Each structure stands twice: as structure tokens, then as C-alpha cells.
């Protein structure tokens, strides 16, 4: 994101006050096209993860640009997207708490979902929900190839679950979901090949083989057999993506406009954006965000509504009342703090976009 | 909070799904009474900080129990509280971004606010807003006695601002706001005494001398001249307050009900509550929360919607599908993630309380 002009900063503060979470829609469009092209070039379908923006408006922009469907992390997110008419949805996690509330069956009645599992309990839950909905449910098996997040850790576990799915008339085996570490593509290939062979002996084929993550775009096309990629952050990018080498500052579409509200001494400043705006997610970086106007300043600490900045390395120091733009370390959690994003193009405020699926915890 | 019965856990998950943020209203009431008593015993008025709960329903319970008024950190919070009929409000920060949006003047027209300042820019802003509202504004001067947060750092700076307030017909000098470190009461007394003497020579008196913070209840009554205390966390308490020695687990009123959704191997588990539910605020503690059923387990890492738990020290390990209760490290930011709190008493779900001022960033 380029530094905003004074005119734009004044419009933002007069219309919305600060802090204010802003997206540059020109950059958003370029980022959407870029992700689509990265997938198209290697013949892998693009299924963006909407956890980053939580907005049906932005999800539809992604679909219009060529995305096959979307990925959600929460049933509540899928509900919001389905309400907006989006029907090709993977929910990329074990849904247990959501299923037991009856909401999984309700949504399955309306939209045929693709859900994920790494254990027998969630499979059982899916079967019950599918029965209640009177519609068989597509299930992907989540596989872990070293990240130690969710996912079965061996091909044999995956095959055991595939057998359960095959034996259950209310479940359809839809494929495999991976979230490999950047350097584990060979291990992932090995895992996938072994499981594919095993599936063949069960007369099953993985219709979908999904990989994930914005940094993993560097590996796209490497995994033979992959059919889809799901990435979230790339629509906005953030300081972590700059650090990862995926994006430049100009490719970051989201920033928080924040006022300097206090200056304690020569080297200290206080912003009106703290952990309730930018979040305490450091993402392994130093400091809590990049101040566009003062990249050499550091946001070294947060209170809930204050960001404490160290200005000792700044030649020119911002005065109380100045408006600064901060690119957060981790944009997915920063977007999740607000109910709306202010959309700009160039110097103009042009749209207010609700973060419609925010707060959908289940 | 006591461990919930299976019956209650089943009611929660069937009615709301997991994760679900729950408060025990019996404990809330006891905590409200306790804070009030701590203030009453030393003749200091209680002005709870509503940033913790952001709910007019809970603010009114505090006022009914004897609180003189409330403290807000955001103008948007004050708007929500004023909408609910609460009129005695301190906004404990420099309001600059909010003022320039015109919202400060609008609220001042409806409710005579008490605002805070540590610099000439916010004073100027307040004067303009008061003029627009056609009602003079009460201003407290925020003083820093060592925390290096907001606040003037010397009595002479405070007196210079007091002079500006005195000279401005649209501003009334209302008092002083402190947030002392636990061990800086002598320094704070020295600061207050010096400033009080200086104010006398300006023929001003601090009508309000406010101290803050739940851990600072240990010092309440020590600062001669203090008239009010503002504390937020004590209505719910959290793992930080347990660590600080202010609260026991039984005095923690808030917990997140979360399902175990995956178990990877003997020592690993995954909860359906991650950084978008419990937040990455560690508050200086190890791990991201206390699991009531497995206090020896550690939540060692978060993804956005997953909590990764280390079960190596647990004799009995939770199975997939089990519901656990987590007390967060920092309750103020955890409440801020949700749009509603489910209120229980004993074994019964009795109320759903909107977190009405959530998302009021300005």
C-alpha cells in the first residue's frame, strides 16, 4: 500500500475516525489476479481461503476472477458464504462442536458441503449430520506431513478412515487435504503416492488433492497429483508475507490508519491502535507492524487500545495528531477485529465492506 | 469457575456449538460486590472500566451495586453506554481520531463527558468539540508516574495543561488520572502532592483523582487524595489475575467451552479455539490459557481456529469430542472477540448477553 495523501487521511478521519481498517481495492484486485494466475499456470484449481477477509463480496470477486470455489475454516463462515449464494465450499477442519449444535445438518440440507476429517469421531458426526440432512456428505481426509497441526500422520491411518467413509452410505470420499511445510514437498509427494496406491486397492480415487498456504505458492505445481490450492493471506498480504518474500509493501492491500495521540519525551509515541485493533499476533517478527511513514520506528508494545512506538531511530518524528498507516504482522487476525473494511481506490473512499463472517466462532 | 457438569456442557454445545464464551453470573455478581467493597472500605468511589465486558447490562449491574459511574477507553464504548442511559462517564484516553470525526461533539451534546488529556493537541480538540456541542467539557489530566504509557511525566507539564484548561471557557478542569505501577505509590504520592500544591496556586482543585487497575486493588486507600478507582478485569478475572494473586480459579467468571477436535499421537491434542477466540495475548505467562479439566496440560501454540495442546504431563488425556473449559490469560481481549456471552448460573443457561460495544474501535 502506498502512503496515503493528506487529503485521503483527512477524509478517513473525518468520515470514520481512527483507528480505521482500510483496504486498497486496486491492490486487492491485482492480488486476486496474481493468485489466480499462479494456479492457472500450473493447471491447479484455485480455492481461496476466505478466513482472511470473511466477506462474500470479496469471495465473489475471487470466484469471478476464476476461483473454482472457496475454503472456510468455520461452519459459521460457510453459512455466511452460502447465504450469499456461494455453493462450492470446503470446510477445512474437523467439525465437531458445530455439528453437535445441529448447524452442520442445517447447512448440508441447503448446500452440499465438502468437510474434512482426521479421526473417526468427526466422521461419525458427519454421518449423523448427513442423515439428518438426508444428503450424503463429501469428506476429505486431512493429512499431516510434518507440520504437527491437524491431520493423520501416516498413510495407513488415512486409508483406515477412507475405508470407514467407503463403508458409510452417508459419506462420499472426496479427496485429501494437505498443508505442507514449505520444505516438505518430497515428504508430501511420498505420502500422497503411498496413499493413492492404497486408495486404488480400495477402488477409491482422491477427486480433490488440496494444498494450502500463501507462502506455498513458491511450490505450486511441484506436487504431482495436486488438484487445488487454497491460500488466504494473498488477497491482502501483510508483514509476514513481506518477510517470506511473497509480497512487497506495494502488494499489501490492508493497513490501519491510526492517530498519534501522545508523545512522551523525545523517543516515545503512542498510537490509538493497540492489541484490540492490530492483535498481539507477532508471527515470529520483531515488533507489531510496519509504519509506512516511519519504517524505522518500532511498535514495541501494545496496550488494548494503544500502540507504543519507539522513535529513537527516526530522523523526523511524528507529532501528536498525525495519522499513520500500519501494515500488521498478520492480516487475517487484524481483519477479524473489525466489523467493516473501508475500501479505497487511489485517493477516494469508494465502499464500505462488511466483514460479514466475523465473530462466527462455531 | 468450577468445572461444568456434563449436562451443562451438552446444553452449551447443543444450543451454541463450540467454541463458546461463557460467563458464570453468580461469580460475576460476587466479583462486582467484592470490587465495590474494596472501594467502600477505604472511602474511594468505584468507577469500573467497562473495556473488559463492553456490555451495558453488566455496567448497570456494577452501578446498581454502588459504582459511581463508569470508565470507557473508546468514544464508541461511551456512545453505547450512553445509549443505554448511563451518563457518568470518563473516557480515559486522549481522544483525537474520534473527535475529528465529529462523534465527540455529538456525544457531548447528549451527555456531559469527562475526557482525558496529556497534551495540548487533545485539549484543543476537546475545546472545539465542546464548542460544537455548545457545552463545556470536563477534562482530567493523565499523569504517568513510571509506567511509560500515556500521561505527562512531570508535575510541571500537568500544571501547564491545567493552565490551558483554566484559560479556556469551553473546558473545565476535572481532575487527575493515574495508572501507577504496583510498586510506585510513593512516587505517585509525591507527584500528586506537588501537583496539588501547584494547582492551588492556580486556584484549581482536582475534583477527581483516579487510580486504576485490578492488581492495584492491593494498594487501594494508600494514595492520600485519591477519590476514585477504575478497574476492569476484576468483574471476570483471568489467568493473569490468578498469577497476580488477586483471584482464585473459583473467582474467574469467564471461560471458553471448546471441543477437542483432533488428537495427533499420545501427547498432542487440538482444540477448536485458537487465536481468533482466545487471542495471542500471553500477558507474560507460559502458554495461552488454563484448561480447567487438565491444568497440567499446556496450550503451547495457536493457529487462528486451533489451540495446540501438549498432553505429555496429563495422566488422563482427553478424547476427541470432549468439551474442555479454558480460562484465558487475558480476559479483556478474549471477550472482545465475541459478539455475545452465554450467561450461566449453576447448571443452567439463563441469558445471552451481547458484547454491545465490541468493534467500537473509534
Distance CA B141, CA B178 (A): 9
What is the count of residue pairs from A and B with beta carbons less than 8 Å apart?
Answer: 206
User: A154 — contact with chain B (CB < 8 Å)?
Assistant: no
Cell readout for A20 is 480505521
Q: Touching check for A267 and chain B: CB below 8 Å?
A: no
Task: Report if pTM > 0.95.
Answer: yes
Q: Which helix (H) or strand (E) holds B255?
A: strand B254-262
Q: At what angle do helices B120-133 and B103-110 cross, to 10 degrees?
A: 50
- How far, rounded to the nearest angstrom, does the alpha carbon of residue A15 sit from its chain's CA centroid? 28
Q: Which residues contact A152 (CB under 8 A, 6 or more apart)?
A: A118, A119, A141, A142, A143, A144, A158, A161
CA dihedral angle for residue A143, residue A144, residue A149, residue A151, rounded to 10 degrees: 30
Q: Does A151 touch chain B (CB under 8 A)?
A: yes
In sequence order, which residues have a C-beta less than 8 Å from that of residue A200 and are 6 or more positions away?
none
- Pairing state between β A20-24 and A254-262: antiparallel
Q: Which of A45, A54, A113 is nearest to A84 (CA)?
A: A54
Closest chain A C-alpha to B204 CA, distance in angstroms: 24
Q: State the residue for C-alpha cell 478485569.
A: B233
Does B193 touch chain A if contact means CB atoms closer than 8 Å? no
Q: Give me the CATH topology for the region A26-235.
A: TIM Barrel (3.20.20)
DSSP state of A152: B
Predicted confidence pLDDT, tens digits, chain A (362 residues): 989 999 999 999 999 999 999 999 999 999 999 999 999 999 999 999 999 999 999 999 999 999 999 999 999 999 999 999 999 999 999 999 888 889 999 999 999 999 999 999 999 999 999 999 999 999 999 999 999 999 999 999 999 999 999 999 999 999 999 999 999 999 999 999 999 999 999 999 999 999 999 999 999 999 999 999 999 999 999 999 999 999 999 999 999 999 999 998 889 999 999 999 999 999 999 999 999 999 999 999 999 999 999 999 999 999 999 999 999 999 999 999 999 999 999 999 999 999 999 999 99
Residue B13 cell numbers, joined: 454445545
CB atoms within 10 A of CB A14: 11
Beta-carbon contacts of B127 under 8 Å, excluding residues fewer than 6 positions away, are B137, B168, B170, B171
Q: Which residues of A touch B305 (CB under 8 A)?
A: 51, 73-74, 93
Q: What are φ and ψ of residue A291, in 5° steps? A: -85, 115
**Tally of CB atoms within 10 A around B126:** 29
Backbone angles phi, psi at B162, to 5 degrees: -60, -40
What pLDDT does B76 receive? 97
Which of these, B48, B179, B111, B112, lies nearest to A262 by C-alpha position?
B179
**Contacting residues of B for A153, CB less than 8 Å apart:** 264-265
* Distance (Å) of CA B315 to CA A119, A350, B307: 22, 58, 20
- Å between A26 CA and nearest CA of chain B: 25
Query: What contacts A245, CB < 8 A, 6 or more positions away?
Result: none
The three-state secondary structure class of A139 is: strand
| Cα of A152 vs its chain's centroid, Å | 22
Residue found by looking up cell 467451552 in the block: B257
Cα separations in angstroms, B291 against B12, B235, B263, B288, B328: 17, 20, 16, 10, 9
Q: How far is CA A359 from CA A192, A343, B11, B20, B155, in A?
A: 35, 21, 21, 11, 44
How far apart, in Å, do the first and last CA atoms of chain B sit? 33
Using CB atoms and an 8 Å cut-off, which of residues 210-249 of chain A contact chain B? none
Contact call for residues A92 and B305 (beta carbons, < 8 A):
no
Query: Given this model, what pLDDT does residue A99 score?
Result: 85
Residues of B in Cβ contact (< 8 Å) with A14:
100-102
Q: Three-state DSSP class for B360? A: coil
- B309: chain A residues, CB-CB within 8 Å: none
Q: pLDDT 10s per residue in chain B (362 long)?
A: 989 999 999 999 999 999 999 999 999 999 999 999 999 999 999 999 999 999 999 999 999 999 999 999 999 999 999 999 999 999 999 999 888 889 999 999 999 999 999 999 999 999 999 999 999 999 999 999 999 999 999 999 999 999 999 999 999 999 999 999 999 999 999 999 999 999 999 999 999 999 999 999 999 999 999 999 999 999 999 999 999 999 999 999 999 999 999 998 889 999 999 999 999 999 999 999 999 999 999 999 999 999 999 999 999 999 999 999 999 999 999 999 999 999 999 999 999 999 999 999 99
Question: Which residue among A51, A95, A272 sits closest to B304, beta carbon to beta carbon?
Answer: A51
All three cell numbers of B223, joined, read 494514595
Chain A residue numbers with beta carbons less than 8 Å from the beta carbon of B121 are 319-321
Distance, CA of A189 to CA of B62 (rounded, Å): 60
Q: With contact defined as beta carbons under 8 Å apart, do A344 and A8 qualify?
A: yes
What residue of A is the nearest CA neighbor of B333?
A: A276
The whole-angstrom separation of Cα A20 and Cα A3 is: 15
Could A14 and B101 be called an inter-chain contact, meaning their C-beta atoms sit closer than 8 Å?
A: yes
Residues B52, B56, B61, CA angle at the centre, nearest 5°? Answer: 85
Best CATH choice for the domain B42-235 from the list 3.40.50.300, 3.20.20.10, 3.90.1010.10, 3.65.10.10: 3.20.20.10
Cell numbers standing for residue B172: 473545565
At residue A165, the pLDDT reads 98
User: Nearest CA to A271 among A254, A253, A288?
Assistant: A288
Measured between CA atoms, how close is B306 to chain A, in angstroms? Answer: 9
Kindly write down the DSSP assignment for every residue of B308-330, as one continuous string.
Answer: EEE-TT-SS-PPTT-EEEEEES-
Q: Give dist(CA A284, CA A62) in Å, integer.
A: 29
* Beta-carbon-side half-sphere exposure of residue B179 (alpha carbons within 13 Å): 19
CA distance A81 to A72: 9
Q: Which CATH class is domain B6-24+239-354?
A: mainly beta
Q: Is the dihedral of CA A231, A28, A341, B359 positive or negative?
A: positive
Q: Which three cell numbers stand for residue B123?
A: 485539549
Kindly determine whether residue B362 and residue A144, on different chains, have CB atoms separated by under 8 Å.
no
Taking each helix axis as running N to C, give the angle between helix B155-167 and helix B120-133, from 0 to 180 degrees, rounded to the nearest 10: 20
Contacts of A263 in chain B (CB under 8 A): 119
The x, y and z cell numbers of residue A323, run together, are: 495519522
In chain A, where are the structural domains located?
6-24+239-354, 26-235
Interface contact flag, B281 A275, Cβ < 8 Å: yes
Give the span between the Cα atoms of B37 and B78, in whole angstroms.
25
Closest partner residue to B320 (CB to CB) among A119, A144, A338 is: A119
Amino acid at each position: 500500500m502506498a502512503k496515503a495523501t493528506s487529503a485521503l487521511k483527512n477524509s478517513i478521519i473525518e468520515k470514520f475516525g481512527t483507528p480505521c481498517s482500510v483496504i486498497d481495492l486496486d491492490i486487492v484486485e491485482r492480488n486476486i489476479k496474481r493468485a489466480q494466475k499462479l494456479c492457472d499456470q500450473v493447471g491447479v484449481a484455485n480455492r481461496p481461503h476466505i478466513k482472511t477477509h470473511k466477506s462474500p463480496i470479496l469471495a465473489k470477486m475471487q470466484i469471478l476472477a476464476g476461483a473454482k470455489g472457496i475454503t472456510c475454516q468455520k461452519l459459521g463462515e460457510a453459512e455466511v458464504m452460502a447465504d450469499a449464494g456461494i455453493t462450492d465450499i470446503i470446510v477445512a477442519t474437523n467439525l465437531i462442536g458445530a455439528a453437535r449444535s445441529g448447524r452442520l445438518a442445517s447447512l448440508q440440507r441447503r448446500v452440499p458441503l465438502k468437510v474434512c476429517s482426521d479421526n473417526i469421531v468427526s466422521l461419525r458426526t458427519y454421518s449423523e449430520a448427513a442423515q439428518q440432512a438426508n444428503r450424503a456428505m463429501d469428506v476429505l481426509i486431512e493429512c499431516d506431513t510434518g507440520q504437527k497441526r491437524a491431520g493423520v500422520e501416516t498413510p495407513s491411518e488415512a486409508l483406515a478412515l477412507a475405508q470407514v467413509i467407503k463403508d458409510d452410505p452417508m459419506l462420499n470420499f472426496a479427496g485429501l487435504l494437505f498443508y505442507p511445510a514449505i520444505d516438505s514437498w518430497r515428504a508430501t509427494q511420498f505420502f500422497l503416492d503411498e496413499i493413492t496406491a492404497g486408495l486404488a486397492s480400495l477402488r477409491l480415487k482422491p477427486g480433490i488433492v488440496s494444498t494450502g498456504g500463501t507462502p506455498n505458492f513458491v511450490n505450486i505445481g511441484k506436487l504431482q497429483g495436486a488438484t487445488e490450492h487454497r491460500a488466504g493471506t494473498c488477497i491482502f498480504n501483510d508483514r509476514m508475507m513481506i518477510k517470506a518474500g511473497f509480497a512487497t509493501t506495494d502488494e499489501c492491500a490492508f493497513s490501519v490508519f491510526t492517530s498519534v495521540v501522545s508523545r512522551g519525551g523525545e523517543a516515545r509515541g503512542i498510537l490509538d491502535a493497540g492489541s484490540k485493533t492490530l492483535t498481539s499476533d507477532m508471527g515470529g517478527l520483531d515488533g507489531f507492524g510496519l509504519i509506512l511513514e516511519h519504517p524505522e520506528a518500532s511498535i514495541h508494545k501494545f496496550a488494548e487500545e494503544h500502540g507504543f512506538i519507539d522513535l529513537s531511530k527516526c530522523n523526523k518524528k511524528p507529532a501528536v495528531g498525525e495519522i499513520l498507516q500500519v501494515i500488521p504482522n498478520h492480516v487475517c487476525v487484524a481483519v477479524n477485529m473489525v466489523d467493516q473494511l473501508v475500501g479505497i481506490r487511489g485517493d477516494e473512499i469508494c465502499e464500505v465492506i462488511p466483514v460479514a463472517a466475523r465473530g462466527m466462532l462455531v
